[in-house]
Amino acid sequence: MSRKIAEEVLPRLRQRYAGRGREGRSRLIDEVCEQWGYSRKHAIKLLGGQTGWGGDPAVRKGRPPIYDEAITAVLWAIWKVAEQPCGSRLKALLPIWLPHYEEENGRLEPELRRKVLAVSASQIDRLLAPRKVRAGHRGRCGTKPGGLLKTQIPIRTDNWDITRPGFLEADTVAHCGGSLEGDFVWSVTYCDIYSGWTCNRAVWNKGAHGIVEATREVEGSLPFDLLGFDTDNGSEFLNWHLVRYLQQRPKAVGFTRSRPYKKNDNGHVEQKNWTHVRQLLGYDRLDDPELVEAINALYRHCWEPLHNYFLPSAKLDGKTRDGAKVKRRHDKPRTPCDRLLDSEEITAANKRKLRAVRASLNPFELHRTLETGLRAILHRALHSSRPTDSLHYAPDAGTTDPIPVS
């Protein structure tokens, strides 16, 4: 139906449709469908004036929305502090975060609270979509092959026993800016395959001594025993210092490496390099050795508790291939702390400690402390690595001080 015909015919059809009974309307719908090839539902909307010409475009059609701006404001406030999770993860963390949100902003009305907890993951994505902004960068690879001990450290050819915690993957991230020349800070990421429990430490120039000390400190903070240690082929890991630390003990830790140039062999820790390092410190060059301790304090006291106790993640259950299409199945998003609490391998004492630590933490307070520390680190890093007039600032809501953008 052309626009001209619609403008001439539709008003008369709508008058006939409005003046008929049930059977007459049905016959008129059949006539419109036969003449113009419309589906029955579309013909009903045309004749009822709900779509096409004659309707008011400013008036929302369909049933009224269930979730209003008040719900979106609550979701948006939690989404920003919770490191911008997807709808599925945000849905899973709402029961944990909402009591802390009410402590910060006052108690919600019962109906509003019920709707916030009832909103689906897909609806969360739809409500927050207009506000989201995406940005990303690509960095440089800082892995220097370590061929000295390749024959001594075996390639991991099986999948380990991932039904219990204790098997770690480790990797390094270079905070080099755009150049690998000179001295700068590196971040070491340790990820437990079973639970997703992740720890980070900053080291200066990723020397063997710094890597061993960082590994020693992380092992002492883990709520489970270290059973296996898997890395890439970088020289910071393939050295005698780390081999002696892991294997010269009453019960040796299994030390394996991935295949060269196969990042997916360390897929668990590779994804944490983005969520736990790049999202925090970005891609700027950190070439001041005094920043190492400040970054480690941020990792220990803010970043790790926030992720391990309050930010859920989904694990891949399996995938099936149908031609060129791959369908992936994930489990329900849970925090690393919850996965450890559900494990029979964690002692009762460690479980009590995990519950007590989480009960003593407030994610909003962690985020505020994190922002304060991160602002000081990035401000110093940017001023020390480039001229002052080349800094770019973005205003922070609620403050008048400029914040350097990484």
With bands split at pLDDT 50, 70 and 90, how would you rate the model's confidence at 261? Answer: confident
Q: CB under 8 Å to 167, separation ≥6 — which residues?
A: 160, 161, 192, 193, 194, 227, 228, 230
Where in the chain is CATH 3.30.420.10?
A: 167-404
pLDDT of 17 = 87
Whether the Cβ atoms of residue 184 and residue 289 lie closer than 8 Å to each other: no
Q: Is the pLDDT of residue 145 over 50?
A: no
Tokens matching residue 207: 């020397």
pLDDT of 309 = 95
Q: Is the pLDDT of residue 378 over 70?
A: yes
Q: Is the pLDDT of residue 53 over 70?
A: no
pLDDT of 55 = 54
pLDDT of 133 = 60
pLDDT averaged over the chain? 83
How many angstroms separate the CA atoms of 182 and 184, rounded?
7
How many angstroms separate the CA atoms of 332 and 40, rounded?
40
pLDDT of 330 = 87
- Can you spell out the DSSP letters for 323-357? TTEEEEEE---B-HHHHHHT-TTS-HHHHHHHHHH
Residue bearing the bigger pLDDT, 282 or 56: 282
How many angstroms separate the CA atoms of 197 and 339, rounded?
9
Torsion angle (degrees, nearest 10) of CA 70, 74, 76, 80: 160
pLDDT of 50 = 53
Whether the Cβ atoms of residue 403 and residue 305 lie closer than 8 Å to each other: no
| Helix/strand/coil for 370 | helix
Residue 317 to residues 164, 311, 314, 327, 328: CA-CA distances in angstroms? 16, 19, 9, 11, 8
Residue 361 φ then ψ, to 5°: -105, 150
Q: Is the pLDDT of residue 276 over 60?
A: yes
pLDDT of 137 = 41
Q: Is the pLDDT of residue 304 over 80?
A: yes
Task: Write out the H or E segment, with its range, that includes residue 359.
Answer: helix 348-359
Q: Provide the CATH number for the domain formed by 167-404 in this structure.
A: 3.30.420.10
Strand runs labelled E in 243-331? 254-257, 316-322, 325-330
- The amino acid occupying position 326 is V
Tokens matching residue 91: 């849905």
The pTM of the full predicted model, rounded to 2 decimals, is 0.71
* Per-residue pLDDT reduced to its tens digit, 154-207: 666 555 557 889 999 999 999 988 788 889 999 999 999 999 999 999 999 888
* Per-residue pLDDT reduced to its tens digit, 320-342: 888 888 888 888 999 999 999 99
What sign does the dihedral 203-209-213-219 (CA atoms) show? positive
How many angstroms separate the CA atoms of 237 and 257, rounded?
9
Nearest in space to 380 (alpha carbons), one of 317, 263, 275, 290:
290
pLDDT of 136 = 41
Range 269-286 average pLDDT: 89
pLDDT of 70 = 92
Residue 278: DSSP 8-state: I
Tokens matching residue 134: 């995406």
Residue bearing the bigger pLDDT, 219 or 12: 219
- CA distance from start to end of the chain: 55
pLDDT of 12 = 83
Q: Give the range among 93-107, 275-289, 392-406 with minimum mean pLDDT.
A: 392-406
